[in-house]
């Protein structure tokens, strides 16, 4: 398959390396010029990458050629059968807008997947309905791996044991097969993107750990985010926030989520050790606040507001995060009471719209 990658940061270059290692697909990579430092460092060295698959104790030299680097999203569209967007969620809407700006009819045969896209899935659906497009949009629950790029070395630190994925249409088996073949983990299809997106723990976990480890962060202390960041009061607060989110899920008709206590125990057992090498933020203006709150927690709180579900702990996390980041994190493009088409897209096929607050 011809696969295009948008973004050449830690996640994008790791995905490129995994695909190159498989040797089964044609690959092209696009990165906006202002975000191309990591890619440029590799290409300046002749395109040679030292790829380290740490969990599998494997190291090899891979090579990116100049022909595999493209200069525009249009080139990615013209080349690809599937596009993987690995950029931060803050760029997702603009990139999808550029994708739809191309009148090429072959968009109808394209699959476009955000790695860890979250609620941008629903914004993309609204955009393409307005344009009359039919891209098969996919979104992963979260990145299926943790990775780092240092100079010409691309390292996979960890793989998640299981990652959920959802699509806007039924053309999904081939993409699941491709991803499953290159990552050391399993992919599980969730046909309900809202069910999957509400289940993303990072929207609560990342801000709480960041807020209550802020002294370490601003003093420049090096600490491991998951293994060092938790203490019992933080766990207690985390559970309270997740109980609020579980109440919202039940109001939406989802009854299959495990209890917050079970979920936290599972996380501490699985990821507390597997992701112990992930370092804490170096600044309050980190994606754990600047992305997870406005693009994840805010729409969850707004959805609770619309359904009459009180979420005081989650609201307080947004307020505290805003104060620490010195940014109004409520100013999100996903404010549902200000964006009725997006709110309705969240609730499409859910039989509860009549009782909502606007």
Same domain, 209 and 336: yes
What is the Rg, in whole angstroms, of the alpha carbon atoms belonging to the chain?
20
Residue 141 per-residue DSSP state: S
Over the chain, what is the mean pLDDT?
A: 88
| 109 and 129 share one domain | yes
Which of 156, 180, 196 is where one domain is finished? 196
Taking residue 92's Cβ as centre, other Cβ atoms within 10 Å add up to 24
Whether the Cβ atoms of residue 57 and residue 184 lie closer than 8 Å to each other: no
| Pair (91, 221) in one structural domain | no
pLDDT score, position 271:
56
- Could you read off the pLDDT of 186-222 as tens digits, one per residue? 888 888 899 988 888 889 999 999 999 999 999 999 8
Last residue of a domain, one of 175, 196, 217: 196
3-state secondary structure of 292: coil
Asked whether residue 169 falls in the same domain as residue 207, the answer is no
Number of domains present in the structure of the chain: 2
Q: How far apart are CA 6 and CA 98, in angstroms?
A: 12
Looking at 135, 168, 196, the residue that finishes a domain is: 196
Q: What is the pLDDT of residue 187?
A: 86
**SS3 for 206-221, per residue?**
HHHHHHCCHHHHHCCC
Distances (CA, A) of 265 to 53, 204, 339: 27, 16, 36
pLDDT at 358: 43
- State the pLDDT confidence band at 289, using cuts at 50, 70 and 90: very high
Residue 104 has pLDDT above 70, yes or no: no
Residue 38's CB is within 10 A of a number of other CB atoms, namely 19
Question: What confidence tens digit (pLDDT) does each residue in 322-345 have?
Answer: 999 999 999 999 999 888 899 888
288 — pLDDT class (breaks 50, 70, 90): very high
The DSSP annotation for 175-203 comes to HHHHHHHHSSSEEEE-S-HHHHHHT-THH
Residues 186 and 218 both lie in one domain: no
Q: State the residue range of the domain holding 298.
A: 201-355
In this structure, are 236 and 351 located in the same domain?
yes
Contact residues for 227 (Cβ-Cβ < 8 A; gap 6+): 272, 273, 275, 276
Mean pLDDT of 292-308: 94
Q: What is the pTM of this model?
A: 0.89
Q: Is the pLDDT of residue 145 over 80?
A: yes
3-state helix, strand, coil in the chain (%, to 5): 50, 15, 30
The H-or-E segment that residue 30 falls in is strand 26-30
């Amino acid at each position: 398959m011809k696969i295009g990658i948008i973004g050449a940061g830690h996640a994008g270059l790791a995905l490129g390396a995994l695909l190159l290692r498989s040797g089964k697909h044609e690959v092209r990579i696009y990165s906006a010029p202002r975000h191309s430092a990591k890619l440029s460092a590799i290409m300046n060295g002749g395109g040679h990458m030292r790829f380290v698959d740490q969990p599998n104790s494997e190291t090899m030299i891979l090579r990116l050629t100049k022909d595999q680097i493209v200069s525009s999203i249009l080139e990615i569209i013209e080349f690809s059968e599937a596009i993987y967007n690995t950029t931060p969620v803050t760029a997702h809407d603009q990139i999808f807008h550029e994708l739809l700006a191309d009148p090429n009819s072959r968009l109808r045969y394209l699959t476009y997947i955000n790695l860890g896209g979250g609620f941008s899935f629903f914004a993309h659906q609204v955009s393409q309905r307005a344009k009359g497009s039919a891209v098969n949009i996919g979104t992963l629950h979260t990145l299926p791996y943790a990775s780092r790029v240092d100079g010409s070395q691309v390292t996979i630190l960890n793989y998640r044991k299981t990652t959920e994925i959802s699509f806007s249409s039924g053309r999904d088996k081939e993409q699941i097969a491709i991803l499953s073949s290159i990552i050391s983990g399993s992919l599980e299809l969730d046909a309900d993107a809202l069910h999957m997106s509400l289940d993303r723990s990072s929207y609560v976990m990342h801000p709480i750990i960041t807020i209550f480890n802020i002294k370490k962060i601003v003093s420049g202390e090096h600490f491991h985010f998951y293994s060092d960041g938790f203490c019992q009061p933080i766990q207690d607060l985390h559970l309270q926030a997740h109980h609020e989110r579980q109440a919202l899920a039940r109001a939406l008709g989802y009854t299959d989520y495990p209890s917050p206590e079970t979920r936290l125990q599972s996380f501490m057992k699985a990821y507390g050790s597997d992701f112990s090498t992930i370092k804490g933020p170096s600044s309050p203006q980190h994606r754990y606040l600047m992305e997870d709150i406005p693009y994840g927690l805010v729409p969850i709180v707004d959805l609770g507001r619309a359904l009459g579900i009180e979420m005081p702990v989650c609201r307080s996390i947004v307020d505290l995060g805003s104060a620490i980041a010195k940014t109004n994190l409520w100013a999100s493009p996903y404010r549902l009471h200000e964006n009725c088409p997006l709110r309705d897209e969240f609730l499409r096929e859910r039989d509860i719209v009549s009782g909502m607050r606007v």
